[in-house]
Each structure stands twice: as C-alpha cells, then as structure tokens.
Amino acid sequence: MGKFAVGKDAYGISDRSGFRYRLRDMRQEWNGLLVGKDEWEQKHPQLEVFRHLPDPEALRNPRPDSRTEPEVQVLLLMNPFRSSSAGSSVITVFEPSHGRSTFNVVVFRKTQAFDGFTKTVLEKAAGYTITAIDANSYKFTVTGETAKIGSQQGGGENVTAEKIATSGATAPTFDETSVTLDATNKTFDEA
C-alpha cells in the first residue's frame, strides 16, 4: 500500500459551508465532517451517552415501623340505623365498604333517638359487639330498649362509627351497680 501525499499546499472543501480552506487548517468534527477552523463546533454535552446506574433502594439495617394505625371515626350515611321488627332490640347499620368483621366492637357518636331507642343507649361508651351481615352492613343488639314500631330508619345526619381495639373476641362489659372495692388489692371487683 502506498503512502499519502504531504499536502502542504492542498485545499479542501468544507462539508458544512462549501467554502475552500487550506487542508492543514481544517478540522474534523465529532460527526465526521471536515470543516474550517471558524466552523468547528464541539459536541454538545446532551449528546453524550452516560451510563445510568439504578438508584439504590434498599436500606442497610432497616427498622420497619411496628406501630399500627389508630382507628378513626367514620362518618356514616344519613340515618344509617334500621330497627328490626317491633319489640326487637336488634339494629342494622348501613356502612358501605365497612371492612369490619363479626365480634368487632364499634362505638357510635352524634346519634339521634329513633323508634324507641334513646341517644344514650345508641352512644354506649363501651360500644357494641357487631355481627357482620355483608360488606355494606352489620347488626348489633341493644340492651334495655326495644323498637316500638319496627323497620324504621333513623339515627341522625352526623353519626360516626369507630372500632375499638379489644384483646378478646367480645367487648368487656362493666356493670356499675354490682361493683365492690377490694381494699387489699386496691381494685374494683364485679359481683
């Protein structure tokens, strides 16, 4: 194979503008174009291909949050309670997508009396152990009062329901009429 000529007096034509330049004064760009000194441009940094490594996501010695979210009060629909037949103490609650299960204890607040059930009974401090019917309703049994007419809707506009965390399957009850003070252990005992 032969050698190339020195070309000290040779001319070249710019690939960009078509102007004639001395070949020794011309420069080659990053894209292969041969251009004059005044036309030469550096490759733009955005055209560089950088290797992108994935972001690290795992933590060293993680400590997962072991706390549980507290139960919150849920605003129920208007008049969410329906009484059963006359003389019955069972009340059905309509709460769409409630997510509660049988034996949960629920406390109701901001209720109104309806069909023979008083506000005091509906807002029992210890709450009521419920029985789930389906995904949108559950029922509970009131003690001491019964429905007068039956199949009545009521309870008020701003009724809230809140699940109470209990250790057992049923709600603890406390009857204040049969309590005695145990002086030796300094505790209250139910008779």
CATH number (domain holding residue 161): 2.40.30.20
Amino acid identity of residue 160, one-letter, is T
Residue 1: predicted pLDDT: 66
Cα–Cα nearest to 11, from 36, 39, 47: 36
Looking at the structure, do residues 95 and 17 belong to the same domain, yes or no?
Answer: no
Looking at the structure, do residues 81 and 153 belong to the same domain, yes or no?
Answer: yes
In a domain, 55, yes or no: no
Residue 184: predicted pLDDT: 64
Domains in the chain, number? 2
Looking at the structure, do residues 109 and 30 belong to the same domain, yes or no?
Answer: no
In a domain, 6, yes or no: no
In a domain, 107, yes or no: yes
Report the chain (191 residues): mean pLDDT per 10 consecutive residues: 82 94 92 93 88 85 80 90 94 92 93 93 93 95 92 92 69 53 60 52
Looking at the structure, do residues 89 and 134 belong to the same domain, yes or no?
Answer: yes
Residue 6: predicted pLDDT: 82
In a domain, 52, yes or no: no
In a domain, 23, yes or no: yes
Looking at the structure, do residues 107 and 150 belong to the same domain, yes or no?
Answer: yes
Looking at the structure, do residues 116 and 35 belong to the same domain, yes or no?
Answer: no
Tell how strand 11-13 and strand 81-83 pair up: unpaired
Burial of 115 (0-12, 13-18, 19+ CB in 10 A): buried
In a domain, 104, yes or no: yes
Residue 92: predicted pLDDT: 95
| Phi, psi dihedrals of residue 69, rounded to the nearest 5° | -70, 140
Flag whether the pTM goes above 0.75: no
In a domain, 3, yes or no: no
Looking at the structure, do residues 90 and 145 belong to the same domain, yes or no?
Answer: yes
- Residue 35 and residue 9: Cα distance in Å, rounded? 17
In a domain, 4, yes or no: no
Residue 2: predicted pLDDT: 76
Domain that holds residue 22: 11-39
CB pairs under 8 A, 24+ apart, for 12-15? 14/39
Q: In 3-state terms, what secondary structure has residue 178?
A: helix
* Three state DSSP letters for 26-82: CEECCCCCEECCCCCCCCCHHHCCCCCCCCCCCCCCCCCCCCCCCCCCEECCCCCEE
Looking at the structure, do residues 87 and 25 belong to the same domain, yes or no?
Answer: no
